[in-house]
Structure 1
Amino acid sequence: MSLYRYFASKNPLPIIENSFATLEGYALETQFEILPCRKNPPIAAAGQIQKPFVYKVRGNGKPLHQLVDYIKENVREQDRVEFWSIWYSEKVPSNNMYRLNPQQITPEDLRFLHDNENCCIRFFPKNKK
């Protein structure tokens, strides 16, 4: 089985390709990419992703700080963005769906993704439609 991570949005999000971090002139192993899915909704999401714009999030190493920066710069509540972390073809239970403010997110807020097998973050208030 494979773990997949997706952004799903009501409106388009910017893509990032082959973004490498560097330190003192050396390329690190961290690569962070956000690419449109070839198939919407992705098969791996077991039919739970319903938004029209879906992006696969890829990163080697620990790109949490890059992910936080991307969210703060590009995710708006009105786009009703969801961030899915899901094992291939499994479902995310409702008790593993969280709501966070995209402008106040920190790497610590995202660390629980590693503690839960399947989860979803919704970057919009509960009462928004």
Structure 2
Amino acid sequence: MSLYRYFASKNPLQTVMTLEEYHFGEQFEVLPCRQNPPIAAGGQIQKPNIYKVRGNKSETFLNQLVDYIKENVEEQNRVEFWSIWHSEKVPSINIHRINPQQIMIEDLRFLNENENSCIKFFPENDK
């Protein structure tokens, strides 16, 4: 079984391909999915723009993810970040809402706990 991570957005997001300037040159990528929606998402993702997120499961990855979110994600674009094991559902208790401009690495540590989760970067009254 594999862990997959995706950004899903109402509007297009910035792509990233292995940037050297990100924290010690470790690989971090945000690339459009070849198959929209991806089979591994198990039909959970409904947004039109879906991007696969690649990177090592580490503190460095979380730092890179925080940087990417602060630079590229705005609440009005209704962006979601999915972390799921192949086709498994995300339970409602693992759906979080976070302000993208105030996000810190501590807000994302749960992503390394190997549980299916989803972060929604838009206000709670928006569905």
TM-score, normalisation: structure 2: 0.92
Greater strand proportion? 1
Where in structure 2 are the equivalents of 1:16-31 lying within 5 Å?
Answer: 16-21=16-21, 28=25, 30-31=26-27
Contact 1:21 1:31 in 2 (8 A): no
Q: Write the deviation string for residues 30-57 of structure 1: whole angstroms up to 9, x where unpaired.
A: 2000000001111101000000000000
Q: Percent identity?
A: 70
Task: For structure 2, list consecutive stretches of 5 or more residues without a partner in the other structure.
Answer: none
Q: Which residue of 2 aligns with 1:49?
A: 45
- 2:12 corresponding residue in structure 1: 12
Alpha-carbon distance in structure 2 between the residues aligned to 1:76 and 1:42 = 23
| Aligned equivalent of 2:55, options 54, 59, 76 | 59
Give the Cα–Cα distance (whole angstroms) in 2 for the partners of residues 49 and 102 of structure 1.
Answer: 19
Say which one has the larger Rg.
1
Indicate if the aligned counterparts of 1:9 and 1:51 stay in contact, CA closer than 8 A.
Answer: yes
Q: CA deviation at 1:21?
A: 4.6
RMSD: 1.6
- Which amino acid counterpart does residue 121 of structure 1 have in structure 2? I
CA displacement 1:44-96 (0-9 Å, x = unmatched): 01000000000000012532111101100110111100000000011101111
| Equivalent pair of 1:100/1:123 in contact (CA under 8 Å) | yes
| Equivalent pair of 2:22/2:64 in contact (CA under 8 Å) | no
**Structure 2 counterpart of 1:98, from 86, 96, 99:** 96
**Matched pairs, number:** 125
Structure 1: stretches of 5+ with no match in the other structure: none
Q: What is the rounded CA distance, in whole Å, between the counterparts of 1:89 and 1:54 in structure 2?
A: 15
Counterpart contact for 1:4–1:85, Cα < 8 Å? yes
Paired residue for 1:110? 108
Runs of 4+ in 1 over 6 A off after TM superposition: none
**SS of structure 2 residue aligned to 1:103:** helix
Amino acid of the structure 2 residue aligned with 1:109? D
Contact 2:17 2:29 in 1 (8 A): yes
Hey, what's the Cα distance between the residues in 2 that align with 1:11 and 1:85? 20
